[in-house]
Amino acid sequence: MNLPGSPHFHYRDDVLHVEGLALPELAARFGTPLYVYSRTALAAALAEFQSVLQSHPDGSLVCYSVKVNSNLAILDLFARMGAGFDIVSGGELERVLAAGGDPGKVVFSGVGKTEAELAAALQAGILCFNVESAAELERLDRVAGQLGKVAPVSLRVNPDVDPKTHPYIATGLKSSKFGIPLAGAPALYERAARLAHLRVTGVDCHIGSQLLDPRPHHEALERLLPLLETLAERGIPMRHLDLGGGLGIRYRPEETEPTVADYLAPMIASVRGRGLKLLLEPGRRLVGNAGLLLTRVESVKPGCDRNFVIVDAAMNDLIRPALYEAWHEIREVVLRTAMFSGQSADRGAAVRGTAVHKTSETLCDVVGPVCESGDFLGRARTLAVTGGDLLAVLSAGAYGMSMSSNYNSRPRAAEILVDGQTPHLIRRRETTADLYALESRIPA
Ligand code: LLP
């Protein structure tokens, strides 16, 4: 079966596995809801970017976008493979440092960096500040001056290109809060070049997320090229070009995603001969299809035109369906056919630890226990499930755990990184006591 995330997520004897481990075994050992990632899939996704970028003669750096999944084990894995990081807060900088990442490979994006965050990044010695406004430029110059440092900067330019994605995750239109309008960029670069505590090093651009058509990325680059020429004419040479993130992934089995080469090769060709190092800030494409959310069915409740499959994961664990009406493929972990085929049926039953009985496919909404009608993981799905069964919510590695919350006082899920036959617990399950550990009652 051609699942998003395959071949590292695959059925063997009708039981869904991540690499060499059967998901029912992970559920039995670590409980549910559970985020499960494949180390091989993570490494392969980063290696694909790095190998395509090798054809760029002036150097390159993949800066993984930390917001997408900020678990230390994932940051560590990418750091060991030579990746840099794209951060948007002081907290993300601390995570990168805690994971052993090299601050000299960190770019700092975001429209609202505080003075404390700028200072921390200057002290750490990051590669570049992606500056988003004139006010931020002045603030950075001042903070750098106070610390006796020189801040490396690029300006995030907004090329006004429609990325044709969900409006909440489009950032490169002129109506968006992000970046500096292209027309105003040369003047701001001249201003930056005159400030004593800044060193202008690059141009940055990020137009949006989950782009399944690479053409808006290519168009954005075409709009940036004249700016590079203008800056060169004005004696402000650039060392690098940061083309942001945004390459989409396949969420539905019938979707096709562009290859990394489809996306990058035309850009590498346009940039060639300019002496510019290429930086990229991919996130979703590196981790989205390397992870899934494993959940157990609490019960099935008949509704007027469909069943409600009530599971133990909810919008607090994965908010993307509620927030963006995002589609995540949901699959039975043990296929019903397993029950009728001798040995594999026994294996399915054994690993689930429940009796096997026949259930037919029905139309259902997969919902969580949270008190909101928006608390669904998938609607109008056809599934054959009963209470106690396991479901896998696919393509959940990106913006899943990192956007989770404790709404309804629900402890956050545990996270497992599977490496072949070995499951590594990379975040333990929260306890309810963790949730109120920072709170206090007032004196009597
Ligand atoms: N660089 C910058 C400056 C960004 O703002 C982002 C994402 C990225 C890189 C990484 O983009 P990616 O390669 O992952 O598309 N929560 C939403 C997506 C928000 C995107 C925010 N910025 C979702 O779940 O779809």
pLDDT digits (tens, 9 = 90+) for 168-203: 777 777 777 888 999 999 999 999 999 999 999 999
Domain end (from 283, 310, 331): 283
CATH of the domain at 305: 2.40.37.10
Q: How far is the CA of 21 from the centre of ligand 1 (A)?
A: 30
Residue at 88 is within a domain = yes
Query: How high is the pLDDT of residue 309?
Result: 98
- Write the pLDDT tens digit of every residue in 130-156: 999 999 999 999 999 999 999 999 999
**The predicted structure's pLDDT at residue 34:** 99
Last-in-domain residue among 236, 257, 283:
283
What is the predicted pLDDT for the residue at 336?
72
To test the pocket of ligand 1, the residue of 284, 327, 377 to mutate (highest count of ligand atoms within 8 Å of its CB) is 284
How distant, in Å, are the alpha carbons of 74, 105, 124 from that of 121? 21, 12, 5
Asked whether residue 372 is assigned to any structural domain, the reply reads: yes
Residues 44 and 16 placed together within one structural domain of the fold: no
Count of Cβ atoms closer than 10 Å to residue 360 Cβ: 6
Provide the angle, in degrees to the nearest 10, between the axes of the packed helices 23-30 and 343-352.
Answer: 20
- Do 326 and 269 reside in the same domain of the chain? no
pLDDT in the model for residue 306: 94
The answer to whether residues 16 and 78 belong to one domain is no
Assess whether 364 carries a catalytic annotation.
no
Q: Is residue 440 part of a domain?
A: no
Q: Specify whether 130 is located in the same domain as 228.
A: yes
**Burial (0-12, 13-18, 19+ Cβ within 10 Å), 3:** buried
What is the distance between the alpha carbons of residues 280 and 67, in angstroms, rounded to a whole number? 15
286, 248, 278, 77 alpha-carbon torsion, rounded to 10°? -10
Residue 3 lies in a domain: no
Residues 424 and 328 in one domain: yes
- Of ligand 1's listed atoms, the one at least distance from the Cα of 320 is 24
Q: Answer whether residue 378 is part of any domain.
A: yes
| Distance from the alpha carbon of residue 399 to the mean position of ligand 1, in angstroms | 9
pTM attached to this predicted model? 0.94
Q: Is residue 168 part of a domain?
A: yes
Tally of domains in the chain: 2
Statement to judge: residues 376 and 251 lie in one domain = no
> Which residue from 131, 156, 171, 209 has its CB within 8 A of the most atoms of ligand 1, so it is best to mutate?
209
Residue 280 has pLDDT above 50, yes or no: yes
Has residue 123 been placed in a domain?
yes
Average pLDDT of the segment spanning 421-439: 98
Tell me which of 249, 283, 317 is where a domain ends.
283
Mutation pick for ligand 1 pocket among 68, 154, 286, 317 (CB with most ligand atoms within 8 Å): 68
Based on the domain organization, do 92 and 82 belong to the same domain?
Answer: yes
Looking at ligand 1, which atom is closest to the CA of residue 326? 25
> Ligand 1: which residue has its CA nearest to atom 7?
209
Residues with CB under 6 A from ligand 1: 65, 68, 86, 109, 169, 206, 209-210, 244-247, 281-285, 320, 324, 399
Tokens in use for 373? Answer: 């009608």
Instruction: Say which CATH number the domain at 203 has.
Output: 3.20.20.10
Q: Please compute the mean of the pLDDT values over residues 333-338 and round it to a whole number.
A: 78
Specify whether 305 is located in the same domain as 379.
yes
Non-local CB neighbours of 310 within 8 Å, separated by 6+ positions = 297, 298, 299, 300, 301, 367, 368, 369
Interval between CA 303 and ligand 1 midpoint (Å): 36
Looking at the fold, whether 267 and 354 belong to one and the same domain comes out as no
Mean per-residue pLDDT, 280-308: 97
Query: Are 127 and 73 in a shared domain?
Result: yes
Q: Tokens representing 220?
A: 């954005």
Which of these, 150, 179, 181, 290, lies nearest to 242 by C-alpha position?
A: 179
Check whether residue 316 and residue 272 sit in a common domain.
no
Residue 351 is predicted with a pLDDT of 47
- For residue 400, how far is its CA from the centre of ligand 1 (angstroms)? 12
Q: Concatenate the DSSP letters of all residues of 267-292 into one string.
A: HHHHHTTS-PEEEE---HHHHGGGEE
306 lies in the same domain as 334: yes
In a domain? residue 4? no
State how far the alpha carbon of 205 is from the alpha carbons of 107, 130, 216, 330, 375, in Å: 12, 9, 12, 34, 34
Q: Which domain holds residue 378?
A: 9-38+288-435
As given in the structure block, the two tokens for residue 147 are: 């610390």
